[in-house]
Amino acid sequence: MEDKHKKLLGKRGEEIARDFLVNKGYELIKMNHRTRLGEVDLILIDGGVVVFVEVKTRRFRNQGLPEEAVTERKLKTIGKVAESFLMERDWTNRQARIDVVAVEMTGDLPIIRHIENAS
């Protein structure tokens, strides 16, 4: 049952992050882009920049801050997936970046932190 709750929490965090970024004016391109290289939670456009977003969600602070769970290894994986995505779409000439959105579900309203250029 624990795994199911974790997946639901992660999915809810991704939805919150998506809505937060869309409300900031970002254009959603894709959610949960999976390849053999790995997965990216959200792909959006900010101005002309393609933004690859890793979302981390936590319910309790005793697990640490959500953004602390994004490792260098994960950022490298996202970078490889991003390169592949840009090549598939023939967007290699476009600017791109990796962001992290941390979502804390500790109270009534989520606390959201958006870290641009996390890599």
Which pLDDT score is estimated for 106?
83
25 pLDDT band, cuts 50/70/90, is: very high
Q: Is the pLDDT of residue 87 over 90?
A: yes
Give the single-character DSSP code of 36.
T
Which domains are assigned to the chain?
Answer: 2-115 (3.40.1350.10)
Cα 60 from Cα 20, distance rounded (Å): 21
> C-alpha 99: how far from its chain's center?
7
Q: Please, what is the average pLDDT of the chain?
A: 94
> By percentage, how much of the chain surpasses pLDDT 70?
98
pLDDT tens per residue, range 64-74:
899 999 999 99
Q: What is the pTM of this model?
A: 0.94
